[in-house]
Homo-oligomer: A and B are copies of this chain.
Amino acid sequence: VVGTSRSDYTDIANEMGATYIPLSDPDAFLAQNLDVIVFAVSIMSFESTIQSFVPHLEKDLQRRKANANGQDVHGPLIVDVLSVKEHARSVLLDLLPPECDILATHPMFGPDSGKNGWANLNFVYERTRINQVVLDPDRQLQDNQDCFVDATGCNHSVHEDNEAHIEAVDRIERFLSIWEEEGCRMVPMSCREHDAYTANSQFIAHLMGRILGSQGLSATPIDTNGFESVLRLIDTTTADSFDLFYGLYKFNQNSADTISKLRIAMDDVVGRLQTMEMEEQAKAVTQKE
């Protein structure tokens, strides 16, 4: 295992038996002949990080080709862990060299929710590209299924007479098995479907937590159970950075719609209260007359 970052993590890496290489030297990082590279960066800096990494990846592919004596060369499997998946998918498909396989993932937990282990926590993933074939994201490769469909509708056998394909599939499965063995609930799901769900679950939870936090609510001497759970929601969502919240808004095309729906729902509920009040007042006036 080799790690890289802007900050120096040499000591921590050594303690773990891992290698640390500073981000300032991406070529030395790639010279480690990595099988899988996981990009764990913020939503906001994802595209620029990939963009600045790609020239080094291409240089590394040239190096691998020079050493391959004419044999086919495969790049590393690129994995992302962003909370927005269509954005990650399109950036990776647009920018990466075709020799890199792509696995889009979202481990749906963090230091807090995962602090007692990862058992039953959701790990969402889309096998996006395998050996230069872009898969149909809505027809995910299933266990015990011997074929898959690519994005053009063409059927492929897992056992295609192609050693490179078999190796690529195997590498993805081995990577996924790490999470599976930790007890994660493995959820194969297209990036599109993921974003549609999370705009109406994860994002609305963050949105509500931020709004209620902005309202300046705090514990009272007489909190109800319901309000205690409101306070917990505020605490957990405002513990994350505002940049994450902004990223969930900006890079999930469904989020703006979620905000509009929240406004409509608010007007609906407040409108019902006000209508009831007006009807009552009208009735009271009629009774007096």
A270 engages B259 (CB within 8 Å): yes
A225 engages B215 (CB within 8 Å): no
Give the secondary structure class of A's interface. helix
A90 in contact (CB, < 8 A):
no
A24 in contact (CB, < 8 A):
no
CB proximity to B under 8 Å, residues A215-273: 215, 217, 220-227, 229-230, 232-233, 236-237, 242, 245-246, 249-250, 259, 261-266, 268-270, 272-273
What B residues does A242 contact at CB under 8 A?
Answer: 272
CB proximity to B under 8 Å, residues A91-134: 108-109, 113, 122, 124
Q: Which of A30-38, A52-60, A196-204 contacts B (4 or more CB under 8 A)?
A: A196-204
Nearest B residue (CB) for A187: B222
A87 in contact (CB, < 8 A):
no
A204 engages B212 (CB within 8 Å): yes
B269 engages A221 (CB within 8 Å): no
With contacts A207-B269, A217-B200 taken as known, whether A108 is within 8 angstroms of B212 at the C-beta atoms is: no
With contacts A205-B227, A214-B269, A215-B261 taken as known, whether A187 is within 8 angstroms of B250 at the C-beta atoms is: no
Sample 7 A-B pairs with CB under 8 A, ordered by A number.
A108-B222, A198-B220, A201-B217, A201-B224, A204-B227, A226-B237, A229-B229
